[in-house]
Amino acid sequence: MNKSYFFNLKSKQKIIILVLIFTFLFSLITGFWNGSYDLEIIKFFKNELDNIQQFVLKKIRFPRVILAAFVGSSLALSGACLQGLFRNPLADPGLIGVSSGAALGAAFSIVLGSEIIVGGYLKTFLLPLSAILGSVVVIVLLSIITNGFKNSNITYIILAGIAINSLAGVGIGFLTYISDDAELRGLSFWSMGSFEGISWNLIIPSIIMILITTLWTLTFARKLDIIQLGENDAHRLGVNIRKLKINIIISSSIIVGVSTSLVGMIGFVGLVVPHLVRLLGGSNHNYLLIASILFGSSLMIIADLISRTIIQPAQLPVGLITSAIGAPFFLWLIYNMKRK
């Protein structure tokens, strides 16, 4: 609503954000210079790297780590927005089915994309666009089921998410069955959730889309705070609820859809990060959204680093790492909810 709102952070929150910025820079640098192929920082600045080392750094490491940062920030940001909008601590793009909707959309374009004849330039956008479409369909479906999110009862949405997840599973299973060898290969690599095989020309359009949407999403901070009072009270305070819902649906679908289309389904980041950030410094969204972005991207860079170094020279799917961190946290959350 007002630009000055973002500078109205409490001093504790300013410090947290500063620390998170340093954490982010640290993980970025660690991500760049660590991996199965040895690189030395000093040699890069002295310009002593040979051609292969240059190639590894510029064409493989840089895009991979930067994409990890954007994907992490997208998942965390959309988790924070959905948790705020639904007033539901369990809202996570994975749990409520948005990610699997995106996955189904992406699978469609991998398997059936070759049948559709489109121009070369449009073809690069086919995968992210169909993934976005998939997540839009899921959120619209959720909105219909919950009567415009009026029935934002926790169990209700999670149950709907379970149903949607298994429906999408059916779709993806069917597509796997009818795909030929090449398509199957693409599908199974992609669905494990991994940052392998990322290149600049693949990620630049997506990064631009995520960046613009993220900046747009940050402008909803104040409205997300006000909606915590309930929809009726928020309406009386001048918030157009319908418009806010549509905006958040669109922005979440874009960032989750684009991320999923590139790296597959990565669970629990959207759920865990906003909760940790709330525990650190408070629930006001001007702080929450920015801190979630920083935290989410750092977490994802580190998770990706672990995934590609832990069993060198092979790689684990990064989704495995995030689930290994996230699932116990999820259990702790449920345990805590019961005590409240």
Residue 298 lies near other proteins (rule: CB under 8 A): no
- Are the CB atoms for 286 and 13 separated by under 8 Å? no
CB burial of residue 320 (10 Å; 0-12, 13-18, 19+): middle
- Residue 172 — left, alpha, or beta (φ > 0 → left; ψ -120 to 50 → alpha)? alpha
Should residue 235 be labelled a site residue for other proteins when binding is judged by CB under 8 A? yes
The SS3 of residue 164 is helix
Number of residues that bind other proteins (CB under 8 A): 26
Specify the residue, 2 or 11, whose C-beta has the smaller distance to other proteins: 2
In angstroms, what is the minimal distance from the CB of 231 to other proteins?
Answer: 9
Q: Is 11 in the site for other proteins (CB under 8 A)?
A: no
Closest distance of CB 158 from other proteins, Å:
15
**44 interacts with other proteins by CB under 8 A:** no
Binding status of residue 336 toward other proteins by CB under 8 A: no
Q: Give the DSSP per-residue string, 228-293.
A: GG-HHHHHHTT--HHHHHHHHHHHHHHHHHHHHHHH----SHHHHHHHHHHHHH-S-HHHHHHHHH
Nearest distance in Å: CB 89, other proteins = 7
List 143, 145, 205, 222, residue binding other proteins (CB under 8 A) = 222
Question: Strand, helix or coil at 87?
Answer: coil
Q: Give the containing element (helix H, strand E) for 165.
A: helix 154-178
Closest separation between CB of residue 228 and other proteins, Å? 6
What separation in angstroms does the CA of 246 have from each of 18, 192, 243, 297, 327? 32, 30, 5, 25, 30
Choosing from 1, 29, 170, 324, the residue that interacts with other proteins (CB under 8 A) is 1
C-beta closer to other proteins: residue 61 or 278 = 278
226 touches other proteins (CB under 8 A): yes
Closest approach of other proteins to the CB of residue 184, in Å = 44
Whether the CB-CB separation of 88 and 152 falls below 8 Å is answered with yes
Q: Smallest distance, Å, CB 11 to other proteins?
A: 14
Type of residue found at 176: T
Binding status of residue 92 toward other proteins by CB under 8 A = no
**Token pair for residue 108?**
């469609």
> Is 123 one of the binding residues for other proteins (CB under 8 A)?
no
Q: Is 40 in the site for other proteins (CB under 8 A)?
A: no
Tabulate helix, strand, coil % of the chain (nearest 5).
75, 0, 25
Structure tokens at 336: 């805590």
In angstroms, what is the minimal distance from the CB of 238 to other proteins? 4
Contact flag: residue 230 with other proteins (CB under 8 A): yes
DSSP state of 92: -
Binding mask 249-288 for other proteins (x = CB under 8 A): -----------------------------x---xxx----
User: Rule CB under 8 A: is residue 237 a binding residue for other proteins?
Assistant: yes
Site for other proteins, rule CB under 8 A:
1-2, 4-5, 8, 87-89, 222, 225-226, 228-230, 232-233, 235-240, 278, 282-284
